[in-house]
């Protein structure tokens, strides 16, 4: 049985709000950030709907944003293994062609011994970073291969290589820590040897171009190439669009066939944009970043405030009158760890046909006892379809 | 994605305590044995950590100790299908070679009609059993096949056959009940016909050697041959060791690559041994047998006492300061059934990054509402690795 075979064309609206990094955990001192935030509107949805805790890629696995979002869109993130370069390229609107190689990099600084000092070049601002990327674009080239640099945001850079015989099976140059030198390019498959050699030349040319600049090197990671994923249209019969604003999330959305609506400034504007385009789509994905950023920085109060700011906008989401609304995250980001984590993600589903469970407040421990149970994140999409009455009966 | 690709080398200690047969179930008269035991220390760990109920091999499946432990060590017990003979051989330090056949047997008594009277020969003691096994070793032989008997404990015997063309696909001789005759050797695959015929000869020779002894027959079961399993080192990047004392559990531990530390006399001594060897390993497995034995015998008070004895040693485990501590069982052993069972096994995970759920006492019904949910036993190892911060993020 393919899920696609069960999908009908009943008019219905499915809305997914990703509160990036929402999940956390209680410890000896505190409840989780979500548990301690004052969230009357989310609590009301939890009381009126059903809750659970979601695992993006199985027990113990911490996911990045790419796999986390693929799972939310109904894709097995272990089956569709995407590199950060590919996701960034898509987010920037760079159309990767078959054979192109993409990677994400950080502008970084080195000490006199060539050890990494700062993997973000002092959290360099956009204007200075853009100037450095322009310098790389103008000054770095390779024989027989087209080299292109694009500024993403702050210290983040996208590299795209276009030419014959490039192979993505090369290791990262980013050592992911300071006090050690950048990693040397290595091939992880014999066919990628030439690509690894090209990256050595590229690294040398970049270092030369960066002499005297605010960054000494670009630490690339996540080399990847063009992928074709089956679209959400094909797999689920949906007409999907996103109002997300960050390149990464727009990138994943584009990869699964979503229309990319214009970039706006706030979650409130994302909701207004959904209202404007309500009749053009039946699946709309909104994304709020602030809780994740606060989680990464270990700022508990900021994460709580970010969650409360989302809560204040929940009535606007409800006013759209979606048939089903899902509010969850792509992964947990506990402030105790200042990073993504493997902890189960609190998840709520709300809508006319969802049904109420016993959960009356939106929090990790409450959700763990909810009707959705401990589910795989990728199972949320079928649950949303069903709750919107978009799935026919299987079997007679 | 392989879990191994995500494992880092952060120094961290993972400790697994298996309270064999811990799980049970409440009925009209009582809570489970664990629920009714007084366990202040386990309750405190439950309150400080996260709980769940674990299924060793899926819903409804009752497992033996072999598959139960393989699951605890992170192996799918349905994929790695091991016979009891193999496990016993490993536990006794008998080095099975490729092609060898091993089986575990019980010394048993028959009545005048050759029906089984007692599958444990009156719970024969070690000394008398050893004398019988010596008699078998001296008096039983087969053409072209090396036959070896080893005493395991009480009524338990290990058989090892070494020779050309032996095939483990033969049925058990143990009917697993009394009042019926032993089963005749049968081949479950055509290639095992010769082996089944050899077992007929062996059975006749054994009965002859046992005339006038305290046992009339040996009921063999679980014929198996040498297997190569990928080690925990390979699969999870761990340096594992066990302080378990019983042959079976040491056998499984050896099979997955654990170092076998010296056999000591009690759980308290196992914990002391872990402390002694703390810096040599990052994964340590301790095993306590008493609750399982009491479960098998249907002795409710003894099982409760066994659990309370474990509880009293929990502070010593905590004093080791592991990064993550998991306390669970390889299977349930309810005294109502006097056997292993399929009931979900209460499980707790404790450590700095585990997070607290809403469970405040360690028992089956409390654990069922915990943050670990209803999980597969084999998923505990990834959760332990994650909680010890030994797993890197998957994807960007």
Give me A321's structure tokens.
Answer: 């009158």
Domain boundary pick from A166, A194, A225:
A225
Q: What are phi and psi of A150, to 5 degrees?
A: -135, 140
Write the CA distances from A110 to A105, A215, A219, A342, integer angstroms: 15, 8, 11, 32
Q: What is the pLDDT of residues B217-267, one digit of tens each?
A: 999 998 988 888 999 999 999 999 999 998 889 989 988 999 999 999 999
**pLDDT at res. B1:** 77
A102-121: average pLDDT: 94
Q: What are phi and psi of B133, to 5 degrees?
A: -65, -40
Residues B258 and B126 in one domain: no
pLDDT of B222 reads: 87
SS3 sequence of chain A: CCHHHHECCCCCCEEEEEECCEECCECCCCCCHHHHCCCHHHHHHHHHCEEEEEECCCCCCCECHHHHHHHHCCCCCCCCCCCHHHHHHHHCCCCCCCCCEEEEEEEEEECCCCCEEECCCCCCCHHHHHHHHHHHHHHCCECCEEEEEEEEECCEEEEEEECCCCCCCECCCCCCCCCCCCCCCCECCHHHHHHHHHHHHHHHHHHHHCCCCCCCEEEEEEEEECCCCCCHHHHHCCCEEECCCCHHHHHHHHHCCCEECCCCCCHHHHHHHHHHCHHHCCEEEEEECHHHHHHHHCCHHHHHHHHHHHHHHHHHHHHCCCCEEEEECCCECCCCCCCCECCCEEEEEEECCCCCCCCCCCCHHHHCCCCCEEEEHHHHHHHHHHHCCCECCCCC
Q: Are strands A373-376 and A50-55 parallel, antiparallel or unpaired?
A: parallel
Give yes or no: residues A253 and A160 share one domain: no
Report residue B174 CA to chain centroid gap.
20
Q: Is residue B369 within 8 Å of A53, Cβ to Cβ?
A: no
Q: B379 CA to chain A: closest CA distance, Å?
A: 6
Same-domain pairing of A220 and A255: no
Chain B hits for A62, CB-CB cut-off 8 Å, are 386, 391-394
Partner residues linked to A145 by β-bridges: A142
Residues A378 and A266 in one domain: yes
Nearest to A271 by CA among A1, A17, A9: A17
Interatomic CA distance for residues B370 and B387, integer angstroms? 16
CB neighbourhood size of A95 (10 A): 11
Q: Is A156 on the interface with B (CB under 8 A)?
A: no
Out of A27, A77, A339, the one facing B355 most closely (by C-beta) is A27
Q: What is the mean pLDDT of chain A?
A: 95
Q: Is residue B237 part of a domain?
A: yes
Among residues B196, B225, B254, which one ends one of the domains? B225
Closest CA to B346 of B24, B14, B16: B24
Residues of chain B with pLDDT under 70: none
In angstroms, the CA A368 to CA A23 distance is 12
Q: Is there a single domain that holds both residue A234 and residue A220?
A: no
Given a cut of 80, whether residue A43 has pLDDT beyond it is yes
pLDDT at B312: 98
Please give the distance of CA B23 from its chain centroid, rounded to a whole number.
Answer: 14
Q: What would the pLDDT profile of A295-325 be if each residue is shown by its tens digit? A: 999 999 999 999 999 999 999 999 999 999 9
Helix (H) or strand (E) holding B117: strand B116-118
User: Is residue A395 included in any domain, yes or no?
Assistant: no
What tokens appear for B41 in the block?
């220390």
In a domain, A394, yes or no: no
Residue A96 pLDDT: 83
Asked if residue B205 lies in contact with residue B140, where contact means CB atoms within 8 angstroms, the answer is yes
Where does the pLDDT of residue A373 fall: very low under 50, low under 70, confident under 90, or very high at 90 and above? very high
Residue A83 has pLDDT above 80, yes or no: no
Kindly state the tokens that stand for A20: 């990036």
Chain B residues 111-130 within an 8 A CB cutoff of chain A: none
DSSP code of residue B23: B
Does residue B281 form part of some domain?
yes
Question: Of B109, B67, B318, B68, whose CA–CA distance to B216 is shortest?
Answer: B109
Mean pLDDT along residues A34-48: 98
- Output A332 or A87, whichever has higher pLDDT: A332
Q: State the total domains in chain A.
A: 2
Token pair for A364: 């990790």
Q: Is residue A175 classed exposed, middle or buried when 0-12, 13-18 and 19+ CB atoms within 10 A define those classes? A: middle
What are the tens digits of pLDDT across the range A205-259?
A: 999 999 999 999 999 998 988 878 999 999 999 999 999 998 889 989 988 999 9
**Beta-carbon separation of A374 and B373 below 8 A:** yes
Q: Are A333 and A24 in contact (CB under 8 A)?
A: yes
Angle between helical axes of B84-91 and B247-255 (0-180°, round to 10)? 100
For position A222, what pLDDT does the model report?
85
Domain boundary among A225, A256, A289: A225
In a domain, B135, yes or no: yes
Vertex B41: Cα angle to B40 and B44 (nearest 5): 85
The mean pLDDT value for A6-35 works out to 97
Q: Which residues of A216-243 are buried (b: 16+ CB within 10 A; e: fewer)?
A: bbbbbbbbbbbeebeebeebbbbebbbb
B271 & B382 share domain: yes
Shared-domain flag, residues B51 and B199 = no
Residues 34-53, chain A, touching B (beta carbon < 8 A): 53
Secondary structure of residue B52 in the 3-state scheme: strand
In a domain, A239, yes or no: yes
In 3D, which of B201, B199, B279, B274 has the Cα closest to residue B243? Answer: B274
Residue A328's beta-bridge partner residues? A18
Nearest Cα of chain B lies from the Cα of A32 at a distance, in angstroms, of: 9
Same domain, A242 and A208: no
Which residues in chain A are closer than 8 Å to B318, comparing Cβ atoms?
Answer: none
Q: Are B210 and B254 found together in one domain?
A: no
What value does the mean pLDDT take over residues A65-94? 87
Q: Evaluate whether B293 touches B305 at the Cβ level (below 8 Å).
A: no
Paired tokens of B280: 């040599």
| One domain for residues B337 and B264 | yes
Touching check for B306 and chain A: CB below 8 Å?
no
Q: Is residue A305 part of a domain?
A: yes
| Domain match, B63 and B166 both | no
Q: For position B87, what pLDDT does the model report?
A: 78
Tell whether A293 is within 8 A of chain B (Cβ).
no
pTM greater than 0.95 (yes/no): no
Q: Which domain holds residue B263?
A: 3-81+230-387
Is residue B392, in this structure, part of any structural domain at all? Answer: no
Q: What is the CATH number of the domain that holds A61?
A: 3.40.720.10
- Check if the beta carbon of residue B395 is closer than 8 Å to that of residue A255: no
| The pLDDT of residue B96 | 83
How large a percentage of chain A has pLDDT more than 90? 88
> Domain holding A152: CATH number?
3.30.70
Residue A218 CA to residue B69 CA, distance in Å, equals: 47
**Are B76 and B99 part of one and the same domain?**
no
What is the structure's pLDDT at B54?
A: 98
| Chain A contact probe: residue of B236, B355, B356, B384 with most A CBs at under 10 A | B355
Q: Which of A85, A233, A243 is nearest to A172 (CA)?
A: A85
Token pair listed for B150: 């080893």
């Amino acid at each position: 049985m393919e899920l696609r075979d069960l999908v009908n064309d009943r008019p219905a609206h499915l809305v997914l709000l990703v509160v990036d990094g929402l999940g956390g955990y209680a410890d000896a001192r505190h409840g989780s950030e979500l548990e301690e935030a004052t969230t009357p509107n989310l609590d009301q949805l939890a009381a009126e709907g059903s809750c659970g805790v979601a695992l993006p890629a199985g027990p113990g696995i911490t996911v990045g944003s790419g796999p986390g979002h693929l799972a939310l869109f109904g894709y097995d993130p272990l089956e569709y293994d995407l590199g950060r370069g590919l996701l960034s390229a898509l987010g920037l609107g760079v159309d990767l062609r078959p054979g192109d190689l993409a990677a994400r990099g950080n502008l970084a600084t080195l000490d006199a011994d060539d050890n990494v000092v700062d993997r973000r070049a002092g959290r360099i601002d956009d204007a200075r970073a853009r100037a450095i990327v322009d310098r790389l674009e103008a000054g770095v080239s390779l024989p027989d291969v087209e080299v292109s640099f694009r500024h993403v945001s702050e210290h983040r850079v996208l590299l795209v290589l276009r030419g014959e015989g490039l192979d993505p099976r090369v290791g990262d140059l980013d050592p992911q820590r300071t006090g050690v030198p950048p990693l040397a390019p290595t091939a992880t498959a014999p066919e990628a040897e030439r690509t690894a050699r090209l990256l050595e030349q590229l690294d040398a040319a970049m270092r030369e171009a960066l002499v005297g600049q605010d960054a000494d090197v670009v630490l690339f990671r996540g080399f990847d190439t063009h992928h074709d994923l089956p679209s959400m249209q094909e797999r689920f019969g949906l007409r999907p669009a996103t109002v997300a604003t960050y390149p990464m999330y727009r990138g994943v959305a584009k990869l699964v066939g979503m229309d990319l609506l214009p970039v706006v400034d706030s979650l409130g504007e994302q909701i207004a944009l959904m209202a404007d385009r309500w009749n053009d789509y039946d699946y709309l994905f909104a994304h709020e970043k602030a809780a994740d950023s606060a989680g990464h920085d270990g700022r508990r109060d900021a994460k709580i405030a970010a969650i409360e700011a989302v809560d204040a906008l929940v009535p606007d989401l409800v006013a759209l009158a979606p048939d089903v609304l899902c509010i969850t995250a792509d992964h947990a980001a506990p402030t105790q760890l200042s990073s993504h984590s493997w902890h189960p993600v609190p998840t709520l589903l709300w809508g006319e046909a969802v049904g109420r469970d016993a959960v009356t407040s939106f929090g990790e421990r409450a959700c763990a006892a909810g009707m959705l149970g401990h589910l795989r994140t990728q199972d949320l999409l079928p649950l949303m379809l069903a709750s919107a009455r978009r799935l026919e009966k299987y079997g007679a």
